[in-house]
Amino acid sequence: MKNCAFIFLQNKAFGIQPIINIDHSPENEHYGQINVVDLTASACGEVCHDLIASIEDGLIDEEIATAFLTGMIAKTKSFKTKNVTPKTFQTASRLIAKGAKREHIVQNLYRTRSIDTLRLWGRALARLKIDEQAKIVWTMLSQQDFMLSRAQENDLPEVIDELITTSPDAKIVVLIYENSERNICAIVRVEKPMDAITLCAAFHASGVREEVRLCFTNKTVAQVEKELIEHLKEKIKTGV
């Protein structure tokens, strides 16, 4: 399949630009003319490395190696997620051997957080709650937290990432926050094979299977916390 991809691209007789679908997700629907889907890979960067190395290993230079390793480090939270395998580390080692700038990657991914974002992290972690049986981790942020930390709502994805890193056993991570319009919203991120859209369908959530957002009107943070967390616990209990 991988060598066929190279031949397909080189042969102008096909007359069209093929869709090459590269992924590592079991939900992938194989929509491309060429599908390179490796369920054992930790990230698309790992799949791309294997694909190009199978065609001609010399094509991977320092810049490409750095790009692939960046994808792997970002996707695995610096090799901390459960889908990391010995092969993942072998691929990372090969990329570093080809000149991938690991320290540069780590510096730009993890050591460039603003002081404001770090303050918001601290406030979220201080209110962290855990249900070990349901494997749910959640926290809350008010508008006062945003004002005192001087952070913005666009900093929330980094807060979610930190919660996941802090709680590796969690299957569901929930961040409940008060937005700038004083409505209470939530970000719900789940671990596969759970489906966040299905879990939160009752709240008209929008997003993808891995993560959804939902908002409530005329409710307090405490009310949303009780309603949403109890709903998720019940869904887990019933196996939905």
Residue 9, pLDDT above cutoff 70 = no
Whether 100 and 210 share a structural domain: no
Residue 154, pLDDT above cutoff 90 = no
Residue 7: predicted pLDDT: 53
User: Which is more confident, 30 or 111?
Assistant: 30
Number of domains in the chain: 2
Whether 229 and 120 share a structural domain: yes
Whether 16 and 91 share a structural domain: yes
Flag the least confident range among 4-13, 15-24, 83-92, 107-116.
4-13
Residue 128 CA neighbour count, 13 Å, CB half: 20
Q: How much of the chain, in percent, has pLDDT values that exceed 70? A: 90
Residue 1, pLDDT above cutoff 50 = no
Structure tokens at 40: 């054992």
| CATH number of 63's domain | 3.90.1640.10
Q: Give the mean model confidence (pLDDT) for residues 156-161.
A: 79
**Angstrom distance (rounded) from CA 193 to CA 141:** 28
| CATH number of 125's domain | 3.10.310.30
Whether 81 and 141 share a structural domain: no
Place of tokens 């807060």: 159
Whether 105 and 126 share a structural domain: no
Whether 144 and 48 share a structural domain: no
pLDDT band per the 50, 70, 90 thresholds, residue 13: low
User: Which is more confident, 165 or 61?
Assistant: 61
Beta-bridge partner residues of 22: 36
Whether 63 and 95 share a structural domain: yes
Whether 120 and 234 share a structural domain: yes
Whether 139 and 234 share a structural domain: yes
Residue 14: domain span: 2-109
Residue 2: predicted pLDDT: 45
Domain boundary, last residue among 55, 77, 109: 109
Whether 26 and 70 share a structural domain: yes
Q: Give the mean model confidence (pLDDT) for residues 27-54.
A: 91
User: Which is more confident, 100 or 162?
Assistant: 100
Q: Which residues of 58-89 are buried (b: 16+ CB within 10 A; e: fewer)?
A: eebeeebbbbbbbbbbebbbeeebeebeeebe
Whether 52 and 100 share a structural domain: yes
- pLDDT tens track for 190-210: 987 889 999 999 998 989 888
With 0.85 as the threshold, say if the pTM is over it.
no
Residue 150: predicted pLDDT: 85
